[in-house]
Structure 1
Amino acid sequence: MSGPNHPGIDAGLSAELASVVSGARRRALRDGDRQIDTAHLLHSLLESDPEVRAVFDGGPQVARLLGYLVQRSIGYGLRWQSAVEDSGAGPVVAGGRWSPVAAGAMEEAYERAVLRGDERACGLDLLAALVADPRSRAVEVLGRAGVELPPLLERIESGCEECVSGGDAG
């Protein structure tokens, strides 16, 4: 969890990832959801981060994912609105803007960046964190769209190596 030196959920983000988070916030508000969840983050990542889109198995897979996420936002998501996304890993923060799973993914993305020697998380860090919890809504969306997680994780790790050499100073 957050230690005394942790900058907070929003502070350790690249400029691009801060834009993704902003998009996820807008989507959650527009959809009438109580909290930003991992599906909101996945949707925003796919729409705005070319490095994230590149790790998927081509354009048709991205199109299926976006189609499913749009359907979710206009109807399927209604069954999620009454419940907080919770992996059971920790307490639900009352009145929080983030689901517990999404908050954990944001923190894990930052921790991945730090382990890589970077002060800012990139989109691939967040994608890796989103797929780390098999009970997250992002993983459910990926599964429904036919995305196989092991090959996706391999492509994410390869992409993260390029993220380091890309030198995103945010």
Structure 2
Amino acid sequence: MTSLEIDIDLLILILPAWVANATPAFLSKFIHFNHPIDFGKKFIDGRRLLGDGKTLEGFLSGVLAGTLTGSLLGAYSLHDPYASLALATGSMLGDSIGSFLKRRMGYERGQHAWGLDELPFIATALTFYHLFYDDIIVVENIQPLLFILVLTFIVHNITNIFFSWLISKFRS
């Protein structure tokens, strides 16, 4: 297998996690999600656990969209639907972990935090995937993992900029 084939396989593998992570933010621009996961509860520091930006509807829409993405790829023998579910669920849980950490550090809803907006969701997605499949995280060869982490960071930020621009065009 060539390096390009491996990179394409990794992109196909991680796509459900990316879609899961992007779906709630995109849909929330058009649909009002109003059931916060934290039910308005505060942590011992007096700040909300997650905030109004993390909702049950968003979490479930992300898991569903990511799983459907993988299932569609599975129709072409490119993905395992159960792997898609693990990646999508891990992605949404990791996104919530990132939000929890951002609240502890004083970041407000929607405020960008380099690393905390990208790494927790992808790391948790890969961890969930690794619980069921062990063909992605190989100790002897860290290159595929680094490729996914760096590419996720780049793609996440580029898509955020693009969709912010696109949504501003619809609103003006």
TM-score when normalising by structure 2? 0.35
Q: Which structure has the larger Rg?
A: 2
- Relative CO higher for 1 or 2, CA cutoff 8 Å, sep ≥ 6? 1
TM-score when normalising by structure 1? 0.35
